[in-house]
Structure 1
Amino acid sequence: MQRCSQMTPSQYHAVSDTAMDRLLDSLETMVDSSNNPQYEVEYHSGVLTLNLGDKGTYVVNKQPPNQQIWLSSPLSGPKRYDYDVSHKVWFYSRDHQQLQELLEEELGTLLDTSVSIDLED
């Protein structure tokens, strides 16, 4: 995978807004189906927060100057994701893992259930 540094600001906002909206939808569905009153998901001003009570808090936010999406995870720590236009995925340049793959793995482990996240239309 390769970082695309040629996106225009409007292209970046289009793909990152789609990813954040899809992530919000997936996490809201996950939280609603968990029936756990401690779990909460919020999205304000480009910052998505998933609070899992004593299991930790995830923060996902857009970083327009870098054309990235940043993640703070209670399990894997901070990561910065670039967009690969040809594969249409957000990936971490150090290990090439996709954002949705990491979230599916970690949330599946924390919640002891299968988690499915699709960040693209």
Structure 2
Amino acid sequence: MAIDERTFSALAERTLRHLMDAIEGACPDADCELRDGILTIEVDDTGTFVVNKHAPNREIWLSSPRSGAWHFAPDEAGGRWVSTRGNEVLEDVLSADLGVAIPAAAA
């Protein structure tokens, strides 16, 4: 889906804020920080996850100590972030990696 930079930035920021709020609520062992489009999630027994917006590609990137590196692009409806290498959804990958349920962000 081709979206302009302003739309991408707003959608990505909303998604990162949603992820931070959901993870803080569901995973008491996680220490989350969102700064300048980069969400850092530190989990004592797992490691550090980094979720960031990547403006040049209009994607959200995930670096996970469990599942590795991921790139997610907005789907056609603009409500979900879907892996560029398959059909995995960002919240589903993070849910599996963290072992908690992270609901999809509201469109």
TM-score greater than 0.5 by the shorter chain: yes
Give the TM-score of the pair, scaled to structure 2.
Answer: 0.89
Matches within 5 A, 1:70-89: 70-86=61-77, 88-89=79-80
Structure 1 stretches lacking a partner, 5+ long: 109-113
CA distance in 1: counterparts of 2:18 and 2:76, whole angstroms: 17
SS at match of 2:53: strand
CA drift at 1:87 = 6.0
Structure 2 stretches lacking a partner, 5+ long: none
Question: Which of the two has greater helix per residue?
Answer: 1
SS at match of 2:45: helix
Q: Which residue of structure 2 lines up, in the alignment, with residue 64 of structure 1?
A: 55
AA matched with 2:64: S
Which residue of 6, 22, 25 corresponds with 1:26? 22
Q: Which residue of structure 2 lines up, in the alignment, with residue 107 of structure 1?
A: 98
Q: How many residues align?
A: 107
Of the two structures, which has the highest relative contact order with CA contacts closer than 8 Å and spacing of 6 or more? Answer: 1
Give the TM-score of the pair, scaled to structure 1.
Answer: 0.80
CA distance in 2: counterparts of 1:40 and 1:62, whole angstroms: 19
CA distance in 2: counterparts of 1:82 and 1:103, whole angstroms: 15
Are the aligned partners of 1:20 and 1:119 in contact in 2 as well (CA < 8 Å)? no
CA distance in 2: counterparts of 1:120 and 1:15, whole angstroms: 11
Task: Give CA deviations for 1:12-61 in whole Å, capped at 9, x if unaligned.
Answer: 11211111111111112124xx3x4xx31111111101100131111000
Bigger Rg over Cα: 1
Q: Which residue of structure 2 lines up, in the alignment, with residue 8 of structure 1?
A: 4
- For the aligned residue pairs, the C-alpha RMSD in angstroms reads 1.6
